């Protein structure tokens, strides 16, 4: 499908991943509507494209069905990048269900009412739980039972139901461990890449829980965004795909890489945990490669360099604005 001139709605388009998707859609000369309640997203994430004539920004909540429905008028493709944080889902399951499930149900109903051609859902590797084999593919059982992953599983099931009843086309992209510039570094429960960068830049020892042999499939945000564009262009009526690197990085190796790039004098602190289970995550992207033409382009060393540079610039800007180092208390 040629997306030039198509009307595309990005729910959560001012967020971390959503803003990258928005930028790439505009480069494809699509007409883009960003719909965001700005609880996590920021206008700053869209600063590179905010003056683009093909971009429209609407402040709205996915739970506001009337506003959402009006926004979908003449929309061809809908991306859903809206989700409550993993930690917030565990702390407040009711809000998790309301946002991640009920909100997405609203979006699908509105999509049907407005004859949307395709919905693209951001899903998660968390639904696999502890892998039974590596690298795990899309046929791997869904073994996780967190509230967050439960809503992701339910969202995928909703799409199957809407496809069966209303012939609504969809693509599901299961993201791995995403990192990159614009990732929120202010929260205690931010991703491990940003948390490690923040600690080392502040002169603090990164904390490694257990042996540090746990592994991740670290995928650069730019590659995640490219996969979303490929999903929009695909002529598939349905599909579920891992978006990954098929490469394994341990916590120890990640921390060492960050330290070597910023301050080699810092030594990480290991905290012993009882009954540690060594988790491993490596996902196959073969299906996405064969069906969408996806392959990761940004290696970890390049991605870390870009992310560290962004964080350092961000820190300098905030120090100048606030007159003090606002990150030392984070």
- Which listed residue (35, 128, 148, 311) is catalytic? 148
Which pLDDT score is estimated for 273? 83
Q: What is the pLDDT of residues 225-235, one digit of tens each?
A: 999 999 999 99
What share of the chain has pLDDT > 70, as a percent?
93
Which pLDDT score is estimated for 120? 99
- Neighbouring-strand partners of residue 249: 216
Distance between CA 297 and CA 303 in Å, rounded?
10
- 148: annotated active-site residue: yes
Whole-model pTM? 0.94
Of 43, 97, 124, 107, residue with least CA distance to 69: 107
Lowest mean pLDDT among 107-121, 249-263, 308-322: 308-322
Q: What is the pLDDT of residues 283-321, one digit of tens each?
A: 999 999 999 999 999 999 999 999 999 999 986 655 444
- 3 state DSSP class of 243: strand
Over residues 52-60, mean pLDDT: 98
CB-based contact 98:247 (threshold 8 Å)? no
CA distances from 215 to 62, 218, 219, 293 (A): 34, 9, 13, 26
Which pLDDT score is estimated for 319? 46
Ordered by where they begin, the domains of the chain are 7-179+218-243 (3.40.50.720), 192-216+247-281+299-320 (3.90.25.10)
Does the pLDDT of residue 327 top 50, yes or no? no
Does the pLDDT of residue 10 top 90, yes or no? yes
Does the pLDDT of residue 329 top 50, yes or no? no
Does the pLDDT of residue 152 top 90, yes or no? yes
Over residues 191-215, mean pLDDT: 94
């Amino acid at each position: 499908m040629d997306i030039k001139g198509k009307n595309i709605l990005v729910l959560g388009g001012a967020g971390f991943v959503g803003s990258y998707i928005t930028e790439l859609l505009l480069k494809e000369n699509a007409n883009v509507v960003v719909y965001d309640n700005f609880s996590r997203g920021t206008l700053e994430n869209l600063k590179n494209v905010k003056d683009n004539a093909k971009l429209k920004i609407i402040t709205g909540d996915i739970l506001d069905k009337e506003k959402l429905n009006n926004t979908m008028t003449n929309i061809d493709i809908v991306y859903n990048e809206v989700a409550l944080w993993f930690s917030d889902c565990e702390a407040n399951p009711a809000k998790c269900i309301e946002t991640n499930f009920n909100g997405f149900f609203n979006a699908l109903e509105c999509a049907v009412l407005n004859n949307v051609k395709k919905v693209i859902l951001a899903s998660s590797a968390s639904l696999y739980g502890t892998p039974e084999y590596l690298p795990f593919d899309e046929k791997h059982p869904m073994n996780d039972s967190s509230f967050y992953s439960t809503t992701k599983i339910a969202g995928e099931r909703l799409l199957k139901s809407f496809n069966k009843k209303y012939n609504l086309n969809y693509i599901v992209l299961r993201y791995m461990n995403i990192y990159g510039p614009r990732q929120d570094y202010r929260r205690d429960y931010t991703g491990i890449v940003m948390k490690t960068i923040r600690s080392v830049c502040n002169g603090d020892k990164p904390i490694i829980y257990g042996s540090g042999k746990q592994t991740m499939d670290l995928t650069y945000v730019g590659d995640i965004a490219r996969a979303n564009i490929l999903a929009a262009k695909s002529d598939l009526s349905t599909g579920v795909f891992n978006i990954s690197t098929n490469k394994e990085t341990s916590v120890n190796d990640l921390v060492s890489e960050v330290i070597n790039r910023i301050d080699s004098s810092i030594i990480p602190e290991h905290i012993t945990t009882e009954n540690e289970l060594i988790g491993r995550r490596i996902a196959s992207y073969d299906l996405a490669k064969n069906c969408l033409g996806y392959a990761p382009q940004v290696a970890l060393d390049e991605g870390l360099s870009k992310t560290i540079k962004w964080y350092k610039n961000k820190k300098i800007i905030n120090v100048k604005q606030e007159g003090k180092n606002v990150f030392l208390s984070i």
